[in-house]
Amino acid sequence: MARKSLAIEDVVQEQWSIVLGELIAQLDRPDVANSVVTTLQSDVALQIERRATAASVPVADFVAGAVREFLDSADDDLWFQLLTIVRKSDDPGLTAVQTILKWVVTDR
């Protein structure tokens, strides 16, 4: 039975990874990145906008860059935390990006 549960977990992880990968690939499109920002809590969205302004880049570029930076630099502990959060979500790709952006602008 343990092997069956592991296989199910593998499938679930693979599915959310595909969804996350597709969303990240689309973050280069300003309409997609800006749509993600509209789903964030207002304080997180405001911090994203402030950081983008301070960096003199459009919000969409900041969002795409912040998510990619996380993907490149996150340690195993952050990935585990992200997986734990995403497992409970009906929209794992969006939840992952929202969580990453929240972590970018808040102390965790």
DSSP string, 56-102: TS-HHHHHHHHHHHHHHH--HHHHHHHHHHHHT-SSHHHHHHHHHHH
Instruction: Please report whether residue 36 resides in a domain.
Output: yes
Provide the pLDDT for residue 105.
92
Total structural domains within the chain: 1
| 8 band by pLDDT with thresholds 50, 70 and 90 | very low
pLDDT at 16 over 60: no
Q: Which two tokens stand for residue 22?
A: 């597709």
CA 80 to chain centre: 13
User: In the predicted model, what is the mean pLDDT of residues 10-18?
Assistant: 50
- Its pTM stands at 0.78
Q: 45: buried, middle or exposed (CB in 10 Å: 19+, 13-18, 0-12)?
A: middle
Compare 88 and 13 and report the one with higher pLDDT. Answer: 88
Instruction: Please report whether residue 98 resides in a domain.
Output: yes
Domain extent for 37: 14-105
**Is the Cβ–Cβ distance between 3 and 77 less than 8 Å?**
no
User: In the predicted model, what is the mean pLDDT of residues 69-75?
Assistant: 90
Instruction: Please report whether residue 6 resides in a domain.
Output: no
